[in-house]
Structure 1
Amino acid sequence: MTDSTSPAKPVATAIRYLSNIVGCACLLLAAICVAIACQVFVQTGVFAQSYAMVGLISAVLGLLALMLARVWK
């Protein structure tokens, strides 16, 4: 007999929810960093490379976390 409530099911659900939260937080951080980089560029004319790089890395990590949440079973 197989039990439909295996011990791995709550862990998979927790990983899925945590991945959603982390993915959304990373995308929010990416949006904030890009907004700051744009504001610095508009005000000073100097490209804020550090903010842009943090925004890019955060966006990639956020998308990867959301992909993990979607495919995790």
Structure 2
Amino acid sequence: MTDSTSPARPVATAIRYLSIIVCCACLLLTALCVAIACQVFIQTGVFAQSYAMVGLISGVLGLLALKLGSVWK
């Protein structure tokens, strides 16, 4: 029942692509934080909890953004 020329269609497409970009950025930040945390642990033997927490939070946000992009209509 929706018309393909309705203004909601480009907005939905824009939100879908934006969520994919946000997902990629968050997952890249996750990889970077985990790499830094591992490097700190290897060099000092001390677990870098702050980097691990930022990596975990950004990973969850990235997965949520990916889920949003896949279910948005």
TM bin, normalised by shorter chain, reads over 0.9
Deviation at 1:10, TM superposition (A): 0.4
Taking only aligned residues, the RMSD between alpha carbons, in angstroms, comes to 0.9
TM-score (norm 2): 0.95
User: Which amino acid is the alignment partner of residue 37 of structure 2?
Assistant: A
Structure 1 residue runs of 4 or more that deviate by more than 2 Å after TM superposition: none
Between the aligned partners of 1:4 and 1:34, the Cα distance in structure 2 is 43
Identity of aligned residues (%): 86
Once the two structures are superposed, the pairs formed by residues 32-71 of structure 1 within 5 Å of their partners are: 32-71=32-71
Aligned length: 72
TM-score of the superposed pair, with normalisation by structure 1: 0.95
Q: Where does the alignment leave 5 or more consecutive residues of structure 1 unmatched?
A: none
- Which structure 2 residue ranges, 5 or more long, are not aligned? none
